[in-house]
Homo-oligomer: A and B are copies of this chain.
Amino acid sequence: MIDLATRVYNHTWKIDPIVRSLLDTDFYKLLMAQTIFRRHRNTSVTFGIQNRTRRVRIADFVDVGELREQLDHARSLRLTRGESTWLRGNTFYGKRQMFSAEFMDWLETFRLPEYELEVRDGQYDLTFHGLWIETTMWEVPALAILNELRSRGVLRGMGKFELQVLYARAMTRVWEKIERLKVLPGLSIADFGTRRRHSFLWQDWCVEAMSAGLGECFLGTSNCLIALRREVEAVGTNAHELPMVYAALAEGDAALAQAPYDVLRDWQQDYEGNLLVVLPDTYGTTRFLADAPDWMTTWTGMRIDSKEPMAGGEEAISWWRSRGCDPASKLAIFSDGLDIDMIEAIHDRFHGRLRIGYGWGTLLTNDFRGLVPDGRLDPISIVCKVIEANGRPAVKISDNPTKAIGPEAEIARYQRVFGTGGQAVLPVVV
């Protein structure tokens, strides 16, 4: 029986929207937004998209009209009643009413602000100017839209059957990784793959797979909408944009040197428990740890991001020991470019020495490597970063110079203030 109504309804769609909800974003954006809302409501920040995989000329096969339609659709979204109820009523990290009534009132009326779009050398130059609290919300949907439009561009023209085999292969690949994860003792892993996902539906499938395959070892997803629908935990803490904006706003070198710790001071007033995870690498982990105030030892854990994971883990252990803490009681979240081999290696090295959590991103939700000719579905390294705050350039140094961001003169100044110890050039895969 053909359901005529459904069939007719379907063929009258204008577009197939990629982002269909304001909750189709990472949980940490909401946590950071609440902190921004409380403390920096009038700060202006520009975010910009950058495709670090220059060889993939997205603008050559993603139509600018389609991109605008998707971005415009995202701008039409408002938090729905059920979504608001979930944010107000759900338990996050074991706590009720994570979000204040004031913040929720604001979020209920929020819409994504304007964007600026240009094409330059085969890449989309997509920027968001305006209040930090508004522009920050573009990061995840903008990246998800660009990544999925790219997937769609590659998949267009493939037969029904080729598509079926493609997804069968991708599913098999994810499942084989999950089977290897299953046997890791004391595993705790979460999906961090919203921004670089192949598509929304594929991320949703991956979350279901992780949940079915790993049970309690699957901690949850960074994606709020999927967490809501699949009734799993929403997870995530904070990102480089906080220290980057704090640093940009700092008056003078002394204030700049203090900015990364100011972020933590504010954060620990807003959040507690497993949300107290330090992200130490914005201006180099080694110096950041050396200069850290003693109260930072009370934090629950640390995220090992741009540093090579083995070195990063050892450095964290040494630091905790040097400050009289038992590393085995501390949480280390590994989250940079992980895939199954690296997870196994990390686990092999650190299980028992640290409480480990994995934030698995791109190579969970977008591992279509080699599944179409010429690697045309291989993931690309596309980011959305703070460019300036209140007119002052934003800078990131990172433990991996390949990931540095900012004008040269400012980078030099930051390097002078923060030093350059402990950095190492690593290839950026995703």
Contact indicator per residue, chain A 171-203, by CB within 8 Å of chain B (1) or not (0): 110010000000000000000000000000000
Contact assessment for B165 and A172 in the assembled complex, using a CB-CB cutoff below 8 Å: yes
Question: Interface on chain A toward B: helix, strand, loop, or mixed SS?
Answer: helix
Contact B209 A161, beta carbon cutoff 8 Å: yes
A208: interface (CB < 8 Å):
yes
Among residues of B, the one whose C-beta sits closest to the C-beta of A212 is: B161
The interface stretch among A3-11, A59-67, A273-281 is A3-11
| A341 CB within 8 Å of chain B | no
Would you call A5 and B9 a contact (CB within 8 A)? no
Copies of this chain assembled into the complex: 2
Q: Is B175 a contact of A168 with CB atoms below 8 Å?
A: yes
Assess whether A208 is in contact with B161, with CB atoms less than 8 Å apart.
yes
Known: A3-B3, A159-B212. A172 touches B175 (CB 8 A): no
Chain B: minimal CB distance from A236 (Å): 25
A126-169, CB < 8 A from B: 159, 161-162, 164-165, 167-169
Confirm or deny: A15 has a beta carbon within 8 angstroms of a beta carbon on chain B: no
A254: interface (CB < 8 Å): no
A54 CB → nearest B CB, Å: 32
CA distance A208 to B168 in the complex (A): 15
Contact A164 to B169, CB < 8 A, known contacts A1-B6, A3-B3, A212-B159: no
In the complex, the answer to whether A1 meets B3 with C-beta atoms within 8 Å is yes
Residues of B with C-beta under 8 A to A175: 165, 168-169
Per the bound structure, the CA–CA distance linking A175 and B164 in Å amounts to: 11
- Which parts of A57-84 form the interface with B (CB within 8 Å)? none
**Which residues of chain A in 237-275 are interfacial with respect to chain B, using CB atoms and an 8 Å cutoff?**
none
Indicate if the CB atoms of B165 and A167 lie closer than 8 Å: no
Q: How far is the CA of A148 from the CA of B239 in the complex (A)?
A: 53
Please measure, in the bound complex, the distance between the C-alpha atom of A13 and the C-alpha atom of B243, giving whole angstroms. Answer: 62
A301 → chain B, closest Cβ, in Å?
31
Does the CB pair B1–A9 fall under 8 Å?
Answer: yes
CA distance A209 to B9 in the complex (A): 31
9 A-B pairs with the lowest CB-CB distances in the bound complex, closest first: A3-B3, A168-B171, A168-B168, A161-B212, A1-B6, A172-B172, A165-B175, A168-B172, A169-B172
A contact set with B: CB distance below 8 Å: 1, 3, 5-6, 9, 159, 161-162, 164-165, 167-169, 171-172, 175, 208-209, 212
User: What are 25 A-B pairs at a CB distance below 8 A?
Assistant: A1-B3, A1-B5, A1-B6, A1-B9, A3-B3, A3-B6, A159-B212, A161-B208, A161-B209, A161-B212, A162-B212, A164-B171, A165-B171, A165-B172, A165-B175, A165-B209, A167-B168, A168-B168, A168-B169, A168-B171, A168-B172, A168-B175, A169-B172, A169-B175, A172-B172
